[in-house]
């Protein structure tokens, strides 16, 4: 599965920001109908987002998701019924706390006309569900939630609501969130879905802070991060894509180990470091991710 590193929220009620979506260089955009939209603007946001989803997105533009309001709000059902459209890749489900809420969304999506046509080039064209885990209950049930629908390919973490719920104090180091973050990584793996997407970093002027938090999330096993401002896309992408040194090292490991395997040797050294099967697997992933990035870039260059 392709790794998706950058996911930017765009408030659904803000036409000026919606206009910019096609130019954003993120892997995904999330049209927000929830927290970024006040109650009196919900209907407007629904209409604007629906319009956005009507036109087929150009190749190479961000995959399009919609964050609906939570299942127990009066907005949920209308939100879901209003979001059919050719351009829809998935629905982000906030305050996901149990299997039942996923099942309700799943059933509504089954009934929506047109949504099977999610514009993924891959096999599974059904609209994705992305549960946003942001409460103690949600975290406690995260494994069952992850397995609650075939539509689920990854989880997301909402740190601000989560901290509020467990009465933790948010700090720049994020020690108070370590357990939740690691739990989401482990649960996702155990459930056989992709790695999770980390929470937003609200202070968008603090680039160094964003980079530090993104590095920590990557180290823990996250595949990407939620963003709120276009200036966060570049730095987060940089953290997640392998550096030149990592690529060179990975290519060397892969080549050396394949040679060793052909000679019937299962453990070698490369530049003073032991390389055995798991080290080789890790290096192979880096090489695969890079070739995927190059292929995607060539395809989008061809279209220019
Ligand atoms: N999506 C698309 N465009 C965005 C954007 C976003 N999330 N955030 C900012 N921009 C645009 C602005 O419209 C502005 O465009 P302009 O240069 O043509 O005027 C440009 O980027 C620079 O923005 P800036 O002036 O620095 O910020 P702002 O005051 O317009 O917006 C926020 C700041 C925080 C209100 C805005 O980034 C935002 O709404 N983020 C998403 C909030 C959200 O969805 N929250 C819910 C999830 S936590
Ligand atoms: Mg929230």
- For 246-274, what is each residue's pLDDT tens digit? 999 999 999 999 999 999 999 999 999 99
Please tell me the predicted confidence (pLDDT) of residue 11.
98
Residue closest by Cα to atom 21 of ligand 1: 230
Judged against a pLDDT cut of 70, whether residue 159 lies above it is answered with yes
Judged against a pLDDT cut of 90, whether residue 295 lies above it is answered with no
Return mean pLDDT, the chain.
Answer: 92
Pick the more confident residue, 113 or 177.
177
Centre of ligand 2 from the C-alpha of residue 304, in Å: 38
Please tell me the predicted confidence (pLDDT) of residue 58.
84
Residue closest by Cα to atom 4 of ligand 1: 17
Average pLDDT of the segment spanning 88-101: 97
Please tell me the predicted confidence (pLDDT) of residue 294.
79
Residue 224 corresponds to which tokens in the numbers above? 């990407």
What are the domain boundaries of the chain?
6-240, 244-303
Judged against a pLDDT cut of 50, whether residue 224 lies above it is answered with yes
Average pLDDT of the segment spanning 88-98: 96
Please tell me the predicted confidence (pLDDT) of residue 2.
80
Q: Reduce the secondary structure of 71-92 to three states and give it as a string.
A: CCCCCHHHHHHCCCCCCEEEEE
Residue closest by Cα to atom 12 of ligand 1: 17
Q: What share of the chain is helix, strand, coil (3-state, %, to 5)?
A: 50, 15, 35
Q: Is the CB of 18 under 6 A from ligand 1?
A: no
- Fold topology of 6-240: TIM Barrel (3.20.20)
Q: What is the pLDDT of residues 38-87, one digit of tens each?
A: 999 999 999 999 999 987 888 889 999 999 999 999 999 999 998 877 78
Ligand nearest to the CA of 205: 1
Please tell me the predicted confidence (pLDDT) of residue 119.
43
How far apart (Å, rounded) are the C-alpha atoms in residues 287 and 290? 5
Centre of ligand 1 from the C-alpha of residue 79, in Å: 22
Q: Is the CB of 228 under 6 A from ligand 1?
A: yes
Q: Is the dihedral of CA 89, 293, 222, 266 positive or negative?
A: positive
Centre of ligand 2 from the C-alpha of residue 58, in Å: 30
Please tell me the predicted confidence (pLDDT) of residue 117.
46
Mutate which of 17, 37, 159, 162 for ligand 1 pocket (most atoms within 8 A of beta carbon):
17
How confident is residue 114, by pLDDT bands cut at 50, 70 and 90?
A: low
Kind and range of the H or E run holding 110: helix 99-111
Q: Is the CB of 229 under 6 A from ligand 1?
A: yes
Ligand nearest to the CA of 96: 2
Pick the more confident residue, 82 or 12.
12
């Amino acid at each position: 599965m392709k790794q998706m590193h950058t996911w930017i929220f765009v408030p659904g009620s803000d036409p000026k920001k919606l206009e910019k979506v096609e130019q954003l260089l993120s892997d995904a955009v999330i049209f927000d109908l929830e927290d970024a939209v006040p109650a009196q603007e919900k209907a407007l946001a629904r209409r604007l987002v629906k319009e956005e989803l009507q036109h087929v997105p150009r190749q190479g533009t961000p995959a399009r998701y919609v964050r609906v309001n939570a299942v127990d709000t009066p907005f949920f059902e209308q939100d879901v019924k209003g979001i059919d459209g050719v351009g829809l890749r998935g629905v982000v489900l906030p305050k996901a706390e149990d299997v039942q809420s996923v099942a309700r969304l799943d059933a509504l999506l089954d009934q929506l006309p047109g949504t099977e046509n999610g514009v993924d080039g891959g096999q599974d064209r059904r609209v994705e569900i992305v549960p946003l885990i942001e409460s103690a209950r949600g975290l406690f049930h995260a494994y069952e939630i992850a397995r609650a629908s075939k539509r689920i390919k990854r989880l997301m973490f909402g740190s601000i609501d989560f901290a509020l719920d467990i009465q933790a104090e948010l700090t720049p180091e994020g020690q108070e969130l370590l357990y939740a973050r690691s739990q989401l990584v482990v649960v996702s793996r155990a459930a056989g879905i992709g790695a999770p997407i980390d929470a937003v970093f609200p202070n968008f002027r603090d680039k160094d802070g964003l980079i530090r938090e993104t590095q920590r999330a990557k180290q823990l096993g996250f595949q990407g991060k939620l963003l709120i401002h276009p200036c966060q896309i570049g730095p987060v992408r940089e953290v997640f894509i392998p550096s030149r040194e990592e690529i060179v090292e990975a290519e060397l490991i892969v080549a050396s180990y394949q040679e060793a395997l052909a000679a019937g040797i299962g453990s070698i050294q490369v530049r003073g470091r032991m390389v055995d099967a798991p080290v080789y697997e890790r290096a192979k992933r880096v090489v695969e991710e890079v070739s995927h990035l190059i292929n995607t870039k060539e395809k989008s260059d061809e279209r220019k």
